[in-house]
């Protein structure tokens, strides 16, 4: 079955730096990917998504890059702020399924 994993459980950055959170997936047929942000004591919140017919998608201060060749995606956060401190999850679905597989999460710590 599909497995989704993040490369680092914790990432520490200084305020104002750019952050890059990585995620690898195992199923080459995966075709929809989402990044979620989970603040302490809250439910996950959608940040940005990308479908497999795209390599890059930009939002407000966030960019997701998809490399299907090596089955890897990344979330880039520009000018990281203390409010960005949270756990970030990637999720992948395959073949139009509505059942995503979640990674275990990377904790982003932003130091002022």
Partner 1 sequence: NAGVTQTPKFRVLKTGQSMTLLCAQDMNHEYMYWYRQDPGMGLRLIHYSVGEGTTAKGEVPDGYNVSRLKKQNFLLGLESAAPSQTSVYFCASTLSGGGPYEQYFGPGTRLTVT
Residues in contact with partner 1 by the rule CB under 8 A: 9, 32, 34, 36, 41-46, 49, 89, 93, 96-100, 102-105
Minimum CB distance to partner 1 smaller for 70 or for 99: 99
Q: Residue 21, class by beta-carbon neighbours within 10 Å (0-12 exposed, 13-18 middle, 19+ buried)?
A: buried
Output 17 or 22, the one with its CB closest to partner 1: 22
CA–CA distance, 92 with 102 (Å, rounded to integer): 7
Q: Write down the least CB distance from residue 27 to partner 1, Å.
A: 14
Nearer to partner 1 among residue 19 and residue 100 (C-beta): 100
Dihedral angle over CA of 29, 53, 64, 96, nearest 10: -50
């Amino acid at each position: 079955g599909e497995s989704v994993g993040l490369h680092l459980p914790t990432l520490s950055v200084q305020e104002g730096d750019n952050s890059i959170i990585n995620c690898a997936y195992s199923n080459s047929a995966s075709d929809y990917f989402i990044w979620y942000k989970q603040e302490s004591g809250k439910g996950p919140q959608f940040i940005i998504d990308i479908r497999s017919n795209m390599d890059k998608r930009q939002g407000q201060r966030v960019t997701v890059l998809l490399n299907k060749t090596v089955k890897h995606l990344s979330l880039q956060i520009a000018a990281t702020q203390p409010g960005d401190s949270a756990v970030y999850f990637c999720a992948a679905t395959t073949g139009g399924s509505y059942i995503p597989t979640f990674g275990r999460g990377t904790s982003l710590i932003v130091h002022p």
